[in-house]
Amino acid sequence: MKVKLIIFALLIPTIVLFGCAKTNMPTSGVVGWSREASIGSPAPDIPFISMEGKQRTLSKIRLPITILVFTSIPGVVCCRLEPDLLTLADRFKKDPITIVQISLPKNKCPHGSGCSEACNIDDTHLVSLCDANRIAWNAFHQPKPGTVFLVGENGKIAGINSTDNLESIADRAYELAQEVYPIEDFIDYE
């Protein structure tokens, strides 16, 4: 009995110090979004409900280059499109660039459960998403309203800025679009 007790007394610290196996295998973790929304990291793929009521993800509808803008609009018009983004979408209507406005309503969304049907504009060049449940906001690690992300053709974040510098992000998006599809090779998406 004493021998067994001594063996167990020596065996337990050895197992604790060295483990039971020769290799360490991860046993748990989070699958999905990267830990940090930084330049070079994969952009989170945002799930949403389309105007037709279908579950979709942004990667399935976006063009190769994407400009994502987080906005916070007070009052009852949670999904009003920002004029600067409408202008940008019009500017890029012949380029492989999607503009995405992600609205972060400050109050409870006035559209309630019908928010996605009322707010989501699902277009090739302009997408407006109401993020009342903060899914996209959390996926991008809670950026401040007015934060702009540029996502490249490879699905990685190529730039981060603010709406104050929207023009510089737009210029960079155009450069990336030209790298992907030079003007002479461009196929009209419309």
Can you give the pLDDT at residue 174?
A: 95
Q: Is the sign of the CA dihedral 87, 184, 68, 48 positive or negative?
A: positive
pLDDT at 104: 84
10 Å CB burial of residue 116 (0-12, 13-18, 19+) is: buried
Strand partners, 162: 147
Instruction: Look at residue 34 in the predicted model and tell me its pLDDT.
Output: 46
Half-sphere exposure of 44 (CA within 13 A, CB side): 20
State percent of the chain over pLDDT 70: 62
Name the band, by pLDDT with cuts 50, 70 and 90, for residue 167. very high
* DSSP string over the chain: -HHHHHHHHHHHHHHHHH-SSSS--------SS-S---TTSBPP--EEE-TTS-EEEHHHH--SEEEEEEE---SS-TTPPPHHHHHHHHHTTTTTEEEEEEE--SS--TTGGGHHHHH-EE-SSEEEEE-TT-HHHHHTT-PPTTEEEEE-TTSBEEEEEEGGGHHHHHHHHHHHHHHHS-GGGPPP--
List, in sequence order, every residue forming a beta bridge with 68; answer none if it has no partner.
Answer: 100, 149
Which carries the bigger pLDDT value, residue 81 or residue 176?
176
Residues 163 and 86 sit within 8 Å (Cβ to Cβ): no
Distances (CA, A) of 66 to 6, 24, 27, 69, 113: 65, 39, 35, 10, 27
- Between CA 77 and CA 57 the distance in angstroms is 24
pLDDT digits (tens, 9 = 90+) for 22-42: 444 333 333 444 456 889 999
> Among residues of the chain, what percentage have pLDDT more than 90?
28
Is the predicted pLDDT of residue 127 greater than 70, yes or no? yes
**Greater model confidence, 134 or 183:** 134
Nearest to 149 by CA among 101, 116, 108, 113: 101
Q: Is the pLDDT of residue 190 over 60?
A: no
User: What's residue 173's pLDDT?
Assistant: 95
Q: Report pTM.
A: 0.72
Per-domain residue ranges of the chain: 39-183
CA end-to-end span of the chain: 82
- Provide the mean pLDDT of the chain: 75
Tens digit of pLDDT for each residue in 87-116? 998 899 889 999 988 888 776 666 655 555
Query: Residue 133 has what pLDDT?
Result: 81
Between residues 183 and 72, which one has the greater pLDDT?
Answer: 72
Decide which of 3.40.30.10, 3.40.50.1370, 3.20.20.10, 3.40.50.150 is the CATH code for 39-183.
Answer: 3.40.30.10
